Amino acid sequence: MDRLDNTVRPYAWGSTTAIPHLLGVEPTGEPQAEMWMGAHPGAPSRTGRGTLVEVIDADPKGELGAGAVAKFGPQLPFLLKILAAGAPLSLQVHPNLEQAREGYADEERRGIPIDAPHRNYKDANHKPEMICALTEFDGLCGFRDPVRAADLLEGLGVDSLKPYVDVLHAHPEDAALREVLTAILTADPEEMAHTVAETAAACTRLGGDYAPYAVLAHHFPGDRGVIAGMLLNHVRLQPGEALFLGAGIPHAYISGLGVEIMATSDNVLRCGLTPKHIDVPELLRVVRFEAGDPGVLRPEASPDGEEVYETPIDEFRLSRYVLPEGTSAHDLTLDTPQILLCTAGSVRAGDHELAPGRSVFVPAGEKAEVSGAGTVFRATVIV
């Protein structure tokens, strides 16, 4: 197996302390948002044999296994991250596979440069993802029941929100959510900025259920995403709990440290909390206007000690082992590729000692044993 040397991305919303604290190093004072583990061409992990992209390209079946190559092609189909949100991320959705293929083909036909700021589809893949909390983790996920959303908005006492309240009370669920989100995204910018300012003041004054939206408004004053965010469920994950975010589910991370895993894709359609491009027609094509519980996941334990986060997709499978002091080694050998990530304590993986934040890549079929006292996450695929 290969020890991984991973890139930390300095996005502006990143915490300045969370990843350095996990790694046991001094903060630089700069934001450190995501540490990438995998073979994404934007920042592939480095090994003693070259980048993980180069290692896999040299022998796809040997590194990934014949089953994974047959199902997903000659590339690692997931990207594993440590994500540290010090400020809210953009409110966003991801397309399903068919939508991604159609959108990518359409933008290619129209000759939109791949790096153009108004380009929606960087590739033809979908981007299901999951976040597993390492600390208390706040986010927004999926639509609230329209009546509950109406009550939340009405409680602010902001007159310009009343039309949204009336629609949410009067229409069927999907039509109400679609009409209100469309109205928010297409409202006059100056009028919306005024509404957001009034909303922010009310949220700050009221606190409680309104506190997360005061945070959004603090970081994004005047942004329509503050109002759009109030249509969504607020979720506070405890360490070890997770959220799965499938296609079309609007979401935003607010704060916290977690392990994130996703299909390898850069396709994001934004709804707000961002200065970046918002393509309203394409966004409305992709969003699933369905209210429901956000579905907090807790791992399901197996007899061998593996705790699995069950999801409905095959591009990734995330689990963890919490190893008490004195336990015998666990055999993790699989015929699929794996990344093993330590997040607490000290774990031995093969010949490698892993401290928190350190990881290894295990080629398909290579013997993999872990021991020690700590927590190790295991990322692989289902074939």
Beta strand 317-323 with 307-309 is antiparallel
Instruction: Answer whether 180's CB lies under 8 Å from 164's CB.
Output: yes
Helices (H), 220-333: 225-229, 280-286
Distance, in Å, from the CA atom of 328 to the CA atom of 86, rounded to the nearest integer, reads 38
Catalytic-labelled residue, pool 3, 46, 270, 320: 270
Q: CB within 8 A of 154, min separation 6: which ones? A: 161, 162, 165
Given a contact cutoff of 8 angstroms between Cβ atoms, the answer to whether 9 and 34 are in contact is yes
Q: Is 270 a catalytic residue?
A: yes
From CA 317, how far away is CA 110, in angstroms rounded?
36
Cα 237 from chain centroid (whole Å)? 13
Contacts of 38 (CB under 8 A, 6+ apart): 44, 45, 52, 76, 78, 79, 80, 264, 339
By annotation, the residues acting in catalysis are: 270
